[in-house]
Amino acid sequence: MAATGHAEGSRHGTPRRTSAARAEAPAASSAAEPGRRRPSRAAPEVTPELEQLLLESGRMSPAWRGTFRAVPRAAFLPDIIWPFTGDGETSAPVDRRATPETWLRWAEENLPITVQHDDGASTGPGVYTSSSSTPSIVASMLRDLDARPGMSVLEVGTGTGWNAALLCERLGAQAVTTVEIDPALADRARGRLSEAGYRPAVVVGDGLDGHGPGALYDRIIATAGVRTVPMAWLAQCRPGGVIVAPWGTHYSPQDAIVRLVVAADGSCAAGRFTGPAEFMKVRSQRLAWPVHEEYVLDRPGTVSHSEADLGDVFDGGYGGTGMLLGLFVDDCTHTVHDGTAWLYGLGDRSWAAATAEGAGVRVHQSGPRRLWDEVEAAYRWWRDQGRPDVERFGLTVTAAGREVWLDGPGAVVNVR
């Protein structure tokens, strides 16, 4: 992606990660060409087409149908938006004041819409730092959360306030606390929520600390990606309560939505991943992208050949392979640039480069770790297991660390 950059990627040096840190992008986008949509309406809502898609795919729980109808996303978007078109290269601004109908068509698309770059330090293009997530992901995360009237909810990542408004509509504003790290975004969201008639607690702060004064919550939902689930969330969630969050490792920007149930004694939380996604990360858990030149110096290394299929190992899409291999290759990140996959060790200066050659791959590895060997071993294990989807994996979080398991907590495949 492009000029607008990756939330984790350096904008200096080569290569850098080029896949899109797109909030919130679903595994397979169903977005249609916006120009072909019908004319705008005065009172926008989730369009009938989108509602049907969400219900039929199971992404939207029928219990939330009326809520989505009542709370239009457009009411929470600023005048200037950057719709994510998914073409990997462009994300042009659209100004409601100049082209109101185009603006509204984009607002109704099943796409993530960027609303802030560079933590507010620029007006873009830059690194995406806040967005309104893809409606189908919003719906499926609310389905996973299973918040019902009478329950209290903490949201981490207020952003535009749309998700908070949906929660207010369904549960009542008194049941909703939402934390946003960016004061300007929190202010804007508070204003829009108020205009729409909702007055939840909108708190400026680091959502990784939760919000103690409102605890215990029945449900906690994070709408920014985490690499570590903070114990504060477990402490502030009722036993038996549910935490839903995008989770992944630094190996890839890909996340998967995890649905954790807090144990009776609060000491751990465990649950399965419900599907792949890709979110911008919470501020303190963003990856500082490795400076290529600091790795690839004149260091001796080894050159070898592998029979692996480079395209299969690095799918580069939203299929979840990056997220899955990252479960097994610790302290490592990667990018694919000009047909070469680059791997960088995050704890040392190990690196590897793999380029398709004939029926296999030519591999250069350098430093204390053999990163390609680690990735290839993880890939072969996953392939030999029958390529299990991310939904077959799960996560257990305790104060001591985390475990990843396959098909059930008894079958731990990685401990960290």
Ligand X SMILES: C[S@@+](CC[C@H](N)C(=O)[O-])C[C@H]1O[C@@H](n2cnc3c(N)ncnc32)[C@H](O)[C@@H]1O
Q: Which is nearer to ligand X, 129 or 414 (CB)?
A: 129
Binding of residue 287 to ligand X (CB under 6 A): no
Q: How far is the CB of 212 from ligand X (least distance, A)?
A: 14
Beta bridge pairs of residue 404 = 395, 414
Q: How far is the CB of 211 from ligand X (least distance, A)?
A: 10
Q: Which is nearer to ligand X, 229 or 280 (CB)?
A: 280
Q: Which is nearer to ligand X, 273 or 279 (CB)?
A: 279
Number of H helices, E strands in the chain: 11, 19
Binding of residue 132 to ligand X (CB under 6 A): yes
Binding of residue 134 to ligand X (CB under 6 A): no
User: Which parts of 215-359 are beta strand (E)?
Assistant: 217-222, 237-247, 255-262, 268-277, 301-306, 332-337, 340-345, 351-357
Catalytic annotation, pick one of 10, 131, 132, 152: 131
Identify which range of 180-188, 230-238, 291-299, 332-340 contacts ligand X by CB under 6 A: 180-188
Q: How far is the CB of 178 from ligand X (least distance, A)?
A: 8
Binding of residue 162 to ligand X (CB under 6 A): yes
Handedness of CA 101, 103, 104, 108 (dihedral sign): positive
Q: For residues 416 and 75, give the distance between their C-alpha atoms in angstroms, rounded to a whole number.
A: 42
Binding of residue 23 to ligand X (CB under 6 A): yes
Amino acid at 286: R
* Backbone angle region of 288, left / alpha / beta, with phi > 0 → left and psi within -120 to 50 → alpha: beta
122 is annotated as an active-site residue: no
For ligand X, the binding residue among 167, 168, 229, 280 (CB under 6 A) is 280
Q: Which is nearer to ligand X, 178 or 366 (CB)?
A: 178
Asked whether the beta carbons of 364 and 301 are under 8 A apart, the reply is yes
User: Which parts of 149-267 are beta strand (E)?
Assistant: 153-156, 176-180, 201-204, 217-222, 237-247, 255-262
Q: ∠ CA(252), CA(257), CA(263), 5° rounding? A: 120
Q: Which is nearer to ligand X, 114 or 366 (CB)?
A: 114
Tell me the per-residue interface mask from 221 to 260 with ligand X, x by CB under 6 A, - otherwise. --xx------------------------------------
For ligand X, the binding residue among 19, 136, 163, 236 (CB under 6 A) is 163
The radius of gyration computed from the CA coordinates of the chain, to the nearest angstrom, equals 21
Total chain residues near ligand X (CB under 6 A) = 27
Q: 226: closest CA among 285, 151, 165?
A: 285
Q: How far is the CB of 113 from ligand X (least distance, A)?
A: 9
Identify which range of 25-33, 102-110, 276-284, 401-409 contacts ligand X by CB under 6 A: 276-284
For ligand X, the binding residue among 91, 133, 252, 350 (CB under 6 A) is 133
Amino acid at 251: Y
Asked whether the beta carbons of 75 and 192 are under 8 A apart, the reply is yes
Identify which range of 57-65, 131-139, 168-176, 247-255 contacts ligand X by CB under 6 A: 131-139
Q: Which is nearer to ligand X, 152 or 414 (CB)?
A: 152
Q: For residues 1 and 56, give the distance between their C-alpha atoms in angstroms, rounded to a whole number.
A: 31
Asked whether the beta carbons of 52 and 306 are under 8 A apart, the reply is no
DSSP single-letter state for residue 373: H
Identify which range of 4-12, 156-164, 292-300, 309-317 contacts ligand X by CB under 6 A: 156-164
Q: How far is the CB of 249 from ligand X (least distance, A)?
A: 18
Q: For residues 336 and 360, give the distance between their C-alpha atoms in angstroms, rounded to a whole number.
A: 16
Q: For residues 117 and 413, give the distance between their C-alpha atoms in angstroms, rounded to a whole number.
A: 37
Q: Which is nearer to ligand X, 185 or 354 (CB)?
A: 185
Residue numbers annotated as active site: 131
* Residues near ligand X, by CB under 6 A: 23-24, 129-133, 156-157, 159-160, 162-163, 179-182, 185, 206-208, 223-224, 279-280, 282-283
